[in-house]
Every structure is written in C-alpha cells, then in structure tokens.
C-alpha cells in the first residue's frame, strides 16, 4: 500500500503549485539540523599537559569546561570582556563600535533584550539542552508559531498580495479544501488505492473529524475560529508562499521544530553558566590572540592585553582554535599550508539583527499575536515577536533578521537602517512608528572579533579535512562540526567535543 509521505505530499503540491515551491520547502536552511552525536566518554588523567583554548564562545567554553573536568591545566583566552561570542543578548548599557566606525549604546529598559545571535533551541538539540540542565541555566519556551500571525506578501501573490492574511486562515483554507477534494474523490471511488469500504469510511470520518468539513455536505466552509471572511481560493494559496509555511514534521529538526526553547534572560546565559562552573582564573578576558607558533615540543601564543595594551606570551602543549576561522586566517600562525587553505575557504554568513523597543506591546493588545514570526517578503528578513514578558507593558521586537545582503543596507548609518525597517514593518503594523522607542542594530560583519555570522557550507569532506589536527593545534569552533550544522549551537558543541577527544587521546599517549 502506497503511503502518502511528506515527500510525496510535497511532490503532489509541486504538481499543483510549481516545482520551485517544493524546492524551497525541501532545501530550506531552516529544515536542516541534527543533534550533536554522542558526547565522547573520556577517562584517565593526563600527565602534566597544558592546553590553551583560543576564543570563549560556546565551543571554547565547552572545551574549557570539559578539560577542567578531566583535570587539565587549561586557559581560555577571550578577546572580549565577556564569554559567549555570537551568544550575545543585547541589554541596556551594552555597546559596540562597528568595524568602520559607528558606536551604539543600548537604551532598552532594564530587563528588555534582543538575542543578536542565536535565539532558539529545537527540542532535539539535546547537547545544548543537557548542558542547560547540567549548568542550571533556566530555560523557557520559545514560541515559534502562533495561529494569529500574519502573512504579508508584497506584490507577487495575486489576489492575496499586499494584505494581512492570518496563519489560521491559511491553515483552515488549505487543509479544508484539500480535505474536501480528498473526500470527494473517496466518495466517487476515484482514488487509485486498494481501499475496502470500511477503510474509505475510516478515512472520510477522519477527514471530517478534523473539523474543517461540514458533516452533512462534506464540503469546506469558513468557520468562526478561522476568522471573518470568505475562504481564499486553494490555488491562490498554493501559488503563493503560504502553504509552504504550514508546519509539518521536518526530516531533520530545524527552525520548524516544536517545541523550541530559549534561556531565560538571553542566550548568553548558557556561556555564563559554563563560566560559573569554571574556576574564574581559567578565563583571561581582553586577550586578543595575535600569534600562535608551534614546534615539536609545544606552542607559544602571544596575545595583546587590550586593557594594558601590552603583549603577553604564554606557552602550552596544545592549542584548540575556537575563534572564527575568518579571523584565524589573519593570525600569525604556523599551521600547514593545506590547513590554512581550508581555513581560508570557510565563509561566514552575512547575518544581521535589529531589536526595536516598543512603548506598548501592540501586537499582543491589538492583533493577539503572542510570539512567532511575520511571514513576509518584505526586505527585512524575519520579523518576530518576543516570547517573554507576555502581557507586560513594553517589549522588544526583532525588526530584522537576515542572513544575506539587503541592497546596500549594511553600508547605511544605523539611523537609516532603522528607518528602513520601520518603513517596511509599518505596512503590517502601522502602530510601529508611534510606539517605537529605541533600536539596537547588529550587523555581524561589522562586529569586531567576529566579522561574520555563522560558518556556512555543508561540505562534510571539507569539514573533516579542517578537523585534522596540525601537530599541536586543532580547530574546535562550530565550522568543523561532525554533527548538526555550524549554524546551530549544537554544532559548536559537537565541534568542541571532537577537539576535546583529539587533545585527550593525544595527551594520554604522552
């Protein structure tokens, strides 16, 4: 008996809606992610071995923490004055000066924040969530989808263009009309399936029981909970991007996973959890690594103490590189030309986010939207509503989240970027200008000590080549993850574990 799998369903949608529609649903970045694999079981105390971990982002914190558990003499060298790297919850008083000049100071109210980097954790990302448990990092639900949220497709969706369409309307109209077609085909015996009369009855009972079809007429009619108005035509919904967003279980859990989680108070709470669990002396802040020279007997690292402006030299047996590889490429470092060529080949995403503090949670009060996203083709990427502090007065919207260029927006002053977002977002939320209080814009290519977002590229062979230790130096940052993907924290943990295993096995051999 033929089974209507998700793939076949998408193929059938493709027959109706055009294959490009299916292509984008199946290959979307958003569907791709996996868990970090097995945490390595490492035992034994190494003879005296010192390890330097360069970079205190998530991968570096994992490596440092686990080295500590194994009894290593280790030191994490972090250029910033905080841990977490991309895990950055921007809060009141925080600041940064963009590479190229402009300085911002966050003016959000106390308690308000925006996750400028990672913001959501799929339930299947067990490594991240297990560390939250182990480190006592409180976690809450990240609301990824809500039926009241809007679609807004500018220009290209026929009769559904330039209007706010609720997700619940789309769900009801697509599912209802497809169920109606299916029941009609069943009733007329037109399904080419080996179904007994009882089977047919079971299927139609199930389809009617879903609640979209009138049990007498067996046809779909708009119903109260869908919202006011007539149903949209099925073909209009399938022609536009609407039906693609109807959630199903993705092959590998990604950004459509349900549920998703977030640490209470910001994603950096995870790295801060590691920091709390580590001896404070093991992390050196304001240590901008500039030079890494290895020999057969050890490695010497030179960093600039950015407070005293003095260079400091420190020696060890091994080094784990947990810095972004685009920055490793610029270090004075004696790794093999082959490894350096691989390092240079890694691209980092052109990611940007913008938080907008609002005087009033108008999306909750006026539109009954409680988290989740706006689905639009507006040039602001993803626009999302906060999943914390519900029913309070103020809130911070994610006004823009993109992973690619938006015209020349990146080169505009912050005020012009904010204006761009307000202009487009007000097409859906006209209240936004009046309620706007302050913004904080992060364009990762302009953020010192990252100069890019997440490592992109899914080439497993390249990752394996990058993972090969170069004598006493091994890469441990998310870019080399053997499981999950570099664009997930789960990948950063998996990469850290891999480096840890190499160091421990090598140190145990002596």
Ligand X SMILES: Cc1cc2nc3c(=O)[nH]c(=O)nc-3n(C[C@H](O)[C@H](O)[C@H](O)COP(=O)(O)OP(=O)(O)OC[C@H]3O[C@@H](n4cnc5c(N)ncnc54)[C@H](O)[C@@H]3O)c2cc1C
Which chain residues interact with ligand X by CB under 6 A?
54-60, 77-80, 85-87, 117-121, 287-289, 322-324, 327, 351, 353, 444, 449-450, 453-454, 477-478, 486-492
Residue 318: CB minimum distance to ligand X, A: 16
Residue 319 C-beta: closest distance to ligand X, Å: 11
What 3-state DSSP class applies to 481?
coil
- Rounded Cα–Cα distance for residues 80 and 327 (Å): 14
If the CB atoms of residues 32 and 86 are measured against ligand X, the closer one turns out to be 86
List all residues 6 or more positions away from 444 whose beta carbon is below 8 Å from its beta carbon. 86, 116, 117, 348, 349, 350, 351, 352, 450, 451, 452, 453
The angle that helices 197-209 and 167-187 make with each other, rounded to 10 degrees, is 160
Short-list 120, 143, 115, CA closest to 33: 120
Pick 85 or 386: Cβ nearer ligand X: 85
Instruction: Name residues whose C-beta falls within 8 Å of residue 38's C-beta, 6 or more positions apart in sequence.
Output: none
Sheet containing 436-443: give its strands across: 164-166, 150-152, 373-376, 383-384, 395-402, 352-358, 436-443
Based on CB atoms, which residue is closest to ligand X, 119 or 212? 119
Closest approach of ligand X to the CB of residue 42, in Å: 20
| C-alpha–C-alpha distance, residues 222 and 13, integer Å | 22
Contact 59, 476 (CB under 8 A): yes
- Name the residue with the smallest CB distance to ligand X: 57
Question: Please, what is the minimum distance in Å from the beta carbon of residue 293 to ligand X?
Answer: 15
| Residue among 387 and 477 whose Cβ is closer to ligand X | 477
For ligand X, the closer CB: 119 or 362: 119
State in angstroms the smallest separation of the CB of 466 from ligand X. 12
β-pair partners for 383: 374
Smallest distance from the beta carbon of 342 to ligand X, in angstroms? Answer: 16
Question: Each residue of 313-340: b (16+ CB within 10 Å) or e?
Answer: ebebbbbbbbbbbbbbeebebebeeebb
Q: How far is the CB of 186 from ligand X (least distance, A)?
A: 42
Instruction: Give the neighbor-by-neighbor strand order of the sheet with 318-321.
Output: 283-284, 73-77, 50-54, 318-321, 473-475
The dihedral of CA 452, 457, 463, 466: what is its sign? Answer: negative
Rounded to a whole number of angstroms, the minimum distance from the CB of residue 75 to ligand X is: 11
For ligand X, the closer of residues 174 and 492 by Cβ is 492
Which of 152, 303 has the CB closer to ligand X?
A: 303
> Quick one: 38 exposed, middle or buried, by C-beta within 10 A (0-12, 13-18, 19+)?
exposed
Q: Is the dihedral of CA 230, 231, 235, 238 positive or negative?
A: positive
Q: Is 509 helix (H, G, I), strand (E, B) or coil?
A: helix
Contact 86, 453 (CB under 8 A): yes
DSSP per-residue letters across 338-394: HHHHHHHH--B---EEEEEEESS-HHHHTT---SSEEEE-STTB-EE--SSSTTSS-
The least CB distance from residue 337 to ligand X, in Å, is: 21
Q: At its nearest, how many Å lie between ligand X and the CB of residue 56?
A: 5
At its nearest, how many Å lie between ligand X and the CB of residue 271? 8
């Amino acid at each position: 008996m033929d089974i209507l799998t998700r793939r076949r369903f998408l193929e059938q949608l493709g027959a109706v809606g055009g294959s490009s529609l299916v292509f984008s649903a199946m290959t979307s970045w958003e569907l791709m992610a996996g868990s970090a694999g097995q945490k390595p079981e490492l035992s034994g105390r190494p003879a005296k071995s010192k390890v330097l971990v360069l970079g205190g982002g998530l991968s570096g914190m994992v490596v440092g923490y686990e080295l500590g558990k194994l009894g290593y003499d280790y030191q994490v060298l972090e250029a910033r004055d905080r841990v977490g790297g991309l895990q950055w919850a921007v809060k009141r008083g925080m600041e940064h000066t963009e590479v190229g000049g402009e300085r911002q100071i966050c003016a959000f109210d106390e308690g308000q924040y925006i996750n400028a980097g990672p913001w959501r954790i799929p339930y299947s990302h067990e490594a991240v969530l297990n560390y939250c448990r182990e480190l006592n990092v409180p976690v809450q639900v990240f609301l990824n989808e809500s039926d009241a949220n809007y679609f807004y497709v500018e220009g290209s969706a026929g009769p559904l263009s330039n209007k706010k369409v609720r997700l619940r309307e789309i769900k009801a109209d697509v599912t209802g009309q497809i169920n109606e077609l299916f029941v009609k085909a069943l009733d007329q015996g037109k399904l080419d399936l080996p179904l007994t009369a009882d089977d047919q009855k079971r299927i139609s009972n199930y389809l009617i029981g879903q609640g979209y079809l009138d049990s007498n007429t067996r046809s779909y009619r708009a119903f109260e909970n869908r919202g006011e108005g007539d149903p949209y035509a099925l073909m209009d919904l399938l022609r536009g991007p609407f039906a693609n967003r109807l959630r199903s279980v993705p092959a590998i859990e990604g950004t459509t996973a349900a549920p998703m989680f977030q640490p209470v108070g910001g994603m950096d709470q995870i790295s801060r959890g590691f920091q709390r669990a580590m001896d404070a002396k093991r992390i050196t802040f304001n240590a901008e690594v500039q030079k890494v020279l290895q020999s057969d007997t050890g490695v010497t690292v030179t960093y600039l103490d950015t407070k005293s402006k003095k260079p400091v030299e420190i020696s060890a047996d091994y080094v784990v590189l947990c810095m972004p590889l685009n920055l490793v490429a610029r270090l004075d470092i004696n790794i093999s030309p082959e490894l350096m060529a691989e390092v240079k080949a890694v691209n980092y995403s052109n990611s940007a986010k913008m938080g907008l503090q609002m005087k009033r949670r108008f999306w909750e009060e006026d539109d009954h939207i409680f988290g989740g996203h706006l689905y639009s083709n507006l040039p602001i990427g993803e626009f999302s509503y906060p999943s914390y502090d519900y029913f309070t007065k103020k809130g911070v919207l994610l006004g823009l989240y993109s992973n690619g260029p938006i015209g020349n927006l990146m080169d505009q002053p912050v005020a012009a970027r904010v204006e761009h977002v307000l202009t487009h977002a007000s097409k859906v939320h006209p209240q936004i200008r009046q309620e706007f209080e302050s913004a904080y814009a992060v364009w990762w290519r302009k953020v010192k000590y990252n100069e890019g977002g997440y490592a992109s590229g899914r080439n497993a062979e390249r990752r394996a080549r990058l993972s090969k230790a170069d004598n006493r130096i091994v890469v441990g940052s998310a870019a080399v993850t053997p499981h999950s993907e570099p664009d997930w924290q789960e990948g950063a943990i998996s990469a850290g574990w891999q480096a840890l295993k190499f160091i421990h096995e090598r140190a145990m051999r002596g």
